[in-house]
Amino acid sequence: MLAFPSTYTVGITSLGYQVVWATLAQRSDVDVRRLFTDQGDPPHGGGRGRGPNLDLFGLSLSWELDGPVLLDLLEQQHIPIWGSERSDNDPIVFGGGPVLTANPEPLAPFLDVVLLGDGELLLPAFLDALQEHRTAPRQERLRRLAQVPGVYVPSLYAPRYSSDGQLLAVEPTEAGIPATVAKQTWRGNTLSHSTVITPEAAWPSIHMVEVVRSCPELCRFCLASYLTLPFRTPSLDDGLIPAVEKGLTATQRLGLLGASVTQHPQFGDLLSWLDNDRFDGTRVSVSSVRASTVTPELAQILAKRGSKSLTIAIESGSERMRQVVNKKLSTEEIYAAARYAKEGGLTGLKLYGMAGLPTEEEADVEATAELLLALKKATPGLRLTLGVSTFVPKAHTPFQWQGVRPEAEKRLKLLTKRLKPKGIEFRPESYGWSVIQALLSRSDRRLAPVIAAARGSHESLGGWKKAYRAAVETSPTPAEAPPAWDDVIHSSWKPSRVLPWEHLEGPLPKSTLAKHQSEALG
């Protein structure tokens, strides 16, 4: 059974979920059923509940705050939520996706297996190993799975803490288990595209094609760039065009996805091909594009193909802050992107930024407001939307050692005050939820009782805080208590500190990330 911690409409729009489901469905030795929070395929063996033949329960996780939903879905299927309580008769519970690849430790006690990295080769290798040892006792199956590159079995590793609760190491519990587990990277010539096209999706009847994977820019905070390195691009003739052609036999809506789609070396050729008269009825949309790659031709072709707006990430209106985060983007390039969008016939420009970045001062936030007001004056008639999130540290990035800055809350309010009266649509993300996101992104497995206690009230900030307090009060020793709230959320850590995910290897070593942080902050 393959689950997604949201409704069908949301889950079926996830390209990662679609690809994993298709990989499982194409195997003759697997009978896969889908499960969402509001519906699911008929269970194995009929009737209600999980059925007698459920060997595997998988979950794709792309958002930290969805953790408690995993537990609800397990209980719904009558599967013990704690891995330590499962028997030979219970399915192997596995998970994957960016959240679990970055830092699975807060959810580790609930998962038997975590798949770290790209699924193209990792998922088949995991299934092959599982089939080979299918009749073995549960513990033996887990030991065998732990030998597969990229397969992390949390129960075979134990954290070691100091008396005051500092993490000292996460180590194998028995001989023969790898000391570290490395994220797996797919280096093939093709990337992913939709396997399900439905009007019920959040983006109705759209065929999604992954144009690039990772991003060459390496903004210091960016999980989508650092965790998925290296930057990979499928070829136009063998990869992208066949993927697009396949989807357009079923729909006239095409979505081109990736962290920086316009940096595909043949993106101009792809656009020229889509400008062909035979695509006149096709609606094309692209995810976020790098501002410096926006041209009048890009805007013109997208407008001709039904797009109304472009999305660019600027991070800050301050040149200084963009240098700090390694955003190689000048103010003039931002002005040019807006100008070209309007000249090409687009009616809107969506910009994304951040508040509370390391070393940010109030003057930097004022510079963001000034930039938006100047853009509005320079491109009258172009609808401007600014979305701003609070900086949240992410594992395997240079800013993983930085904390959430409380000043961010006030700075979001400052932007609201400056921009909304001037007719600029401002969409701030909740500071309070960014705090909870940081709690989940930087914690170790001592946070698991908090996640379990948050169920039923995890949609409210108060519910999370109450669950945290309850877990602290019931912990017998400091070493067993949840990580200290201020330390894990707001503190800047020393690079020498042992990180909860230190035994899990990302694309770049810790020393390289520390060097990138030093270059950013001086």
For residues 46-56, average pLDDT: 66
Give which of 234, 236, 251, 260 is closest to 195, Cα–Cα.
251
Q: What is 305-434+506-522's CATH number, 3.40.50.261, 1.10.10.10, 3.30.230.10, 3.30.750.200?
A: 3.30.750.200
Residues 6+ apart with CB under 8 A from 471: 449, 450, 453, 481, 482
Whole-number pLDDT of residue 517: 98
Whole-number pLDDT of residue 123: 96
Give which of 62, 5, 64 is closest to 393, Cα–Cα.
64
Residue by residue, DSSP assigns 264-325 as STTHHHHHHHHTSGGGTT-EEEE--B-GGG--HHHHHHHHHTT--EEEEEEE-S-HHHHHHT
Whole-number pLDDT of residue 180: 98
Which stretch of 41-50, 188-197, 292-301, 365-374 has the lowest confidence by average pLDDT?
41-50
Report residue 188 as tokens: 């093939």
Confidence of residue 44 (pLDDT cuts 50, 70, 90): low
Which stretch of 5-19, 312-326, 354-368 has the lowest confidence by average pLDDT?
5-19
pLDDT in tens, 265-282: 999 999 999 999 999 999
For residues 107-133, average pLDDT: 97
- In this prediction the pTM is 0.95
Contact yes or no for 191/213 (Cβ under 8 A): yes
Cα–Cα distance for residue pair 2/205, rounded to 1 Å:
22
**Rounded-to-10 torsion of CA 115, 67, 256, 202:** 140
What b-and-e string marks burial along 385-414, b requiring 16 or more CB atoms within 10 Å of the CB? bbbbbbbbbbbbbbbbbbbbbebbbebbeb
Cα–Cα distance for residue pair 439/68, rounded to 1 Å:
14
For residues 463-486, average pLDDT: 92
Cα–Cα distance for residue pair 376/469, rounded to 1 Å:
46
pLDDT in tens, 152-161: 999 999 999 9
Residue by residue, DSSP assigns 47-89 as SSSS-TT--EEEEE---GGGHHHHHHHHHHTT--SSGGG--TT
For residues 126-148, average pLDDT: 97
**Rounded-to-10 torsion of CA 24, 26, 29, 34:** 40
Overall fold of domain 194-287: Transcription Regulator spoIIAA (3.30.750)
**Residue 249 reports pLDDT greater than 70:** yes
Report the percentage of the chain scoring pLDDT > 70. Answer: 98
What residue type is 377 in one-letter code? K
For residues 237-248, average pLDDT: 95
**DSSP 8-state secondary structure symbol assigned to residue 508:** S
Evaluate the omega torsion of the peptide bond into residue 230 and state whether it is cis, within 30 degrees of 0.
yes
pLDDT in tens, 383-438: 999 999 999 999 999 999 999 999 999 999 999 999 999 999 999 999 999 999 99
Whole-number pLDDT of residue 478: 76
Give which of 226, 383, 258, 396 is closest to 310, Cα–Cα.
383
Whole-number pLDDT of residue 288: 85
**In the chain, where the domains are located:** 2-182, 194-287, 305-434+506-522
**Residue 47 reports pLDDT greater than 90:** no
Cα–Cα distance for residue pair 413/88, rounded to 1 Å:
54
Whole-number pLDDT of residue 494: 97
What residue type is 281 in one-letter code? G
Confidence of residue 285 (pLDDT cuts 50, 70, 90): very high
Report residue 64 as tokens: 């930290």
pLDDT in tens, 171-189: 999 999 999 999 999 998 8
Cα–Cα distance for residue pair 318/328, rounded to 1 Å:
12
Mean pLDDT score across all residues of the chain:
95
Cα–Cα distance for residue pair 415/426, rounded to 1 Å:
8
What b-and-e string marks burial along 166-191, b requiring 16 or more CB atoms within 10 Å of the CB? ebeebebeeeebbeebebbbbeeeeb
**What is the enclosing helix (H) or strand (E) of 487?**
helix 485-489
Phi, psi of 380 (to 5 degrees): -60, 140
Whole-number pLDDT of residue 37: 94
Same fold, 194-287 and 305-434+506-522: yes
